[in-house]
């Protein structure tokens, strides 16, 4: 479970860095909701798509 918590934390920080690049707007998001939704999509992904999603979600 610690591995999953670390992966979610890494995903959240990377997403915040990406969304925060535009300093003209406030950023509000739920990283846990986003990572859960993307993890469900990942379960149905195959091949290159699954590999890319695993990298973004820090599952590797």
Give the integer Cα–Cα distance in Å for 51 and 26.
31
37-55 per-position pLDDT tens digit = 999 999 999 999 999 999 9
- Sketch the domain layout of the chain as residue ranges: 2-19+30-56
Position 2 scores a pLDDT of 87
pTM of the predicted structure, to 2 decimals: 0.76
In the predicted structure, residue 1 carries a pLDDT above the cut 80: no
């Amino acid at each position: 479970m610690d591995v999953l918590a670390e992966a979610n934390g890494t995903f959240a920080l990377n997403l915040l860095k990406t969304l925060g690049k535009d300093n003209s707007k406030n950023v509000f998001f739920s990283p846990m909701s986003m990572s859960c939704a993307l993890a469900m999509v990942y379960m149905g992904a195959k091949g290159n798509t699954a590999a890319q999603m695993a990298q973004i979600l820090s599952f590797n």
